[in-house]
Structure 1
Amino acid sequence: MKLEGSCHCGAVRFRCQSSSPVPYQRCYCTICRKQQGGGGYAINLGADANSMVVEGDENITVYRATMEHGTSSGERNFCSRCGCALWLFDPSWPDLIHPFASAIDTDLPEPPTITSLMLNYKANWAEVHDGPGDRHFDEYPDESLAEWHERHEWKAP
């Protein structure tokens, strides 16, 4: 599925191909929550890094989070003009890029279930979706974005 996204001020626009675009996974870790999680979580999608095309890349700034074990290898890209979080890239997995669902302008498929992860780090005020079939994890889930899409037999429209 082709994803198109942008920052709030329009200085950065991007597009990429995704085989895992369903916004089903909510991350409550402190990095995601504080970077772009107005609801107390962030939603990361999966896409093919080689398909990424960016307009306005001169307006991109990269943030690498400081963690207890050192600096994260994850590069959180955001607009230097409006501060909008756009995508995460980690050179440890060079074929993948993770656009933030909040920056996507394309209509996304509605998830049949929600997976909430990193609940050990959830803010006390954040609500966790608890519908039929939803899954909850104190840390990382037991399946990847791609595996979830395969399990739900998701096919691009």
Structure 2
Amino acid sequence: MELQGSCRCGAVRFSCRSHTPVPYQRCYCSICRKVGGSGYSINLCAQADSLKVEGRENLHTYRVMLPGESGGALQPTTNARFFCKECGCYLWAQDPSWPHWFYPFASAIDSELPKPPHSVHLMLGSKASWVEPQVGPKDETYEEYPELSIEEWHKKHRLYVE
């Protein structure tokens, strides 16, 4: 499925192809919570070689920082979050550990996305105390990461788009 996305101010526009366009995951980790708003963030998965960007000069990256060994000082990871330097809108995440993929934020997608049959709430062990997850009757919940990848989940639910 072809996806079109942009930042809030329009300085960055992008398009990509995704086999997994259903925004079903709601991540409550401290990173997504801080950059995604609403207490969680929803990422999609798309093919890295399909990414086309207009306004690349307006992009800036943030390298995710995690505590070092034994809770030591924060250390940069290879995971990068791309955002518009004009309006601050987060657009996608990318990590060289998975060179064929990148992860657009569903909030940055302008195309109509399919409605998920249910949601998967993950990293609930990291949620802020004030966040009250809206868990539906068919939703799945996980303290950390679920076993199924984004691709596996889409295939299991027959939502994988060729």
* Long gaps (5+) in structure 1: none
CA RMSD of aligned residues (A): 1.2
Which TM-score applies when normalising by structure 2?
Answer: 0.93
Q: 1:107 aligns with which of 88, 108, 112?
A: 112
Using the TM superposition, give the Cα deviation of residue 76 of structure 1 relative to its aligned residue in structure 2, in angstroms: 0.2
CA distance in 2, matches of 1:42, 1:68: 21
* Long gaps (5+) in structure 2: 69-74
The residue number in structure 1 matching 2:98 is 93
The 1:148/1:155 distance shift into structure 2, 3 A limit, reads closer
The 1:155/1:93 distance shift into structure 2, 3 A limit, reads closer
Which TM-score applies when normalising by structure 1?
Answer: 0.96
Please tell me the residue identity of whatever aligns with 1:126: V
CA contact (8 A) 1:12 1:79 kept: yes
Please tell me the residue identity of whatever aligns with 1:59: N
Structure 1: which 4+ aligned runs deviate by more than 4 Å? none
Using the TM superposition, give the Cα deviation of residue 127 of structure 1 relative to its aligned residue in structure 2, in angstroms: 2.2
The yes-or-no answer on 1:22 pairing with 2:35 is: no
Please tell me the residue identity of whatever aligns with 2:47: D
The yes-or-no answer on 1:128 pairing with 2:133 is: yes
Q: Deviations over 1:51-70 (max 9, x none)?
A: 00000000000001210132
CA contact (8 A) 2:48 2:100 kept: yes
The residue number in structure 1 matching 2:5 is 5
Q: Deviations over 1:37-80 (max 9, x none)?
A: x2100000000000000000000000012101321211100000
CA contact (8 A) 1:114 1:129 kept: no
The residue number in structure 1 matching 2:71 is none
Please tell me the residue identity of whatever aligns with 1:15: S
The residue number in structure 2 matching 1:46 is 45
Identity of counterpart residues, as a percentage? 54
CA distance in 2, matches of 1:88, 1:48: 12
The residue number in structure 2 matching 1:117 is 122
The residue number in structure 2 matching 1:154 is 159
CA distance in 1, matches of 2:53, 2:125: 35
Q: How many matched pairs?
A: 156
